[in-house]
Amino acid sequence: MSFETTLSVFELAGVFVFAVSGALAAARKGMDVVGLFALALVTSTGGGALRSVLIGDFPVPFLRTPWPLAFAAVAAVLTQLFSRWLEARMDKPIRFFDAIGLGVFMSTGAMVALQLGQPWWAALFLGCVTAVFGSVLRDLLRQEVPLLFQPAELYATAALIGGVALVAAHVGGLPRTTTMLWGAGVTIAVRLFALYFHWRTKPPVA
């Protein structure tokens, strides 16, 4: 497979897994299929949408092709019908694909920002926003303090480290493709290591 195909497959896998995880989070709150669809959609597309809105790049990405809406609808219907089965089977795969999605979203988000002429520090921020904001929206709509902001295994921090690696490669003049893969790879590696070795953030000394 070419690089573009591989990337698209990974990115779509990331979108779909984020959509399923959003729909499952809605099911746990007793929401109906409208809630399942809404949480599937915001979890999988909220980060990219916020990136677009902050820099004025319209329409937002999830309205450029029908796939994101379709994926959210499929995730909502599947979860409506099989939430118990999915809860039992999807826990481990979701964690794994979520790490891949985190890396791919950070990396493509930062690259898009750089292509649109944003400076490196804005691209770093926008890559991290692309990667994590969907989960913040998911938790706000479920009426929870965002999990992202709680002490836990490095998540936003993994995206930040991967983003620094990507920006360093970009400043160093590496080819676009290498830069993007490198940023995604570092993010995914840090996230999986953090899960495996329980690297956690701590609350402030209160």
Tokens, residue 104: 């791919």
Distance CA 37, CA 31 (A): 10
Residue 56 CB coordination number (10 Å): 7
What three-state secondary structure class fits 192?
Answer: helix
Residue selected from 7, 17, 39, 181 as contacting a second copy according to rule CB under 8 A: 39
To the nearest whole angstrom, how small is the minimum distance from the Cβ of residue 115 to a second copy? 14
Q: Closer to a second copy by CB, 3 or 67: give it.
A: 67
Residue selected from 7, 36, 40, 180 as contacting a second copy according to rule CB under 8 A: 36
Residue selected from 8, 32, 89, 171 as contacting a second copy according to rule CB under 8 A: 32
What sign does the dihedral 134-14-94-39 (CA atoms) show?
Answer: positive
Query: How many residues can be counted in the chain?
Result: 206
**Rounded to the nearest 5 degrees, what angle is found at the Cα of 128, between the Cα atoms of 123 and 133?**
125
Distance CA 12, CA 6 (A): 10
Residue selected from 3, 8, 9, 84 as contacting a second copy according to rule CB under 8 A: 84
Tokens, residue 73: 């609808």
Is 31 an interacting residue with respect to a second copy (CB under 8 A)? yes
Is 155 an interacting residue with respect to a second copy (CB under 8 A)? yes
Residue selected from 3, 81, 91, 171 as contacting a second copy according to rule CB under 8 A: 81
Q: What are phi and psi of 121, to 5 degrees?
A: -70, -30
Tokens, residue 125: 């921020």
Q: Closer to a second copy by CB, 3 or 121: give it.
A: 121
Q: Which helix (H) or strand (E) element contains residue 19?
A: helix 3-28
Q: Closer to a second copy by CB, 54 or 192: give it.
A: 54
Is 53 an interacting residue with respect to a second copy (CB under 8 A)? yes
Residues 103-132 that bind a second copy (CB under 8 A): 118-119, 121-122, 125-126
Q: What is the DSSP letter of 125?
A: H
Tokens, residue 185: 């790879």
| Amino acid at the residue 41 | L
Is 80 an interacting residue with respect to a second copy (CB under 8 A)? yes
Residue selected from 12, 13, 74, 152 as contacting a second copy according to rule CB under 8 A: 152
Q: Closer to a second copy by CB, 10 or 37: give it.
A: 37
Which residues are at the interface with a second copy (CB under 8 A)?
Answer: 26-36, 38-39, 49, 53-56, 58-60, 63, 66, 69, 79-84, 118-119, 121-122, 125-126, 136, 140-146, 148-152, 155-157, 201-206
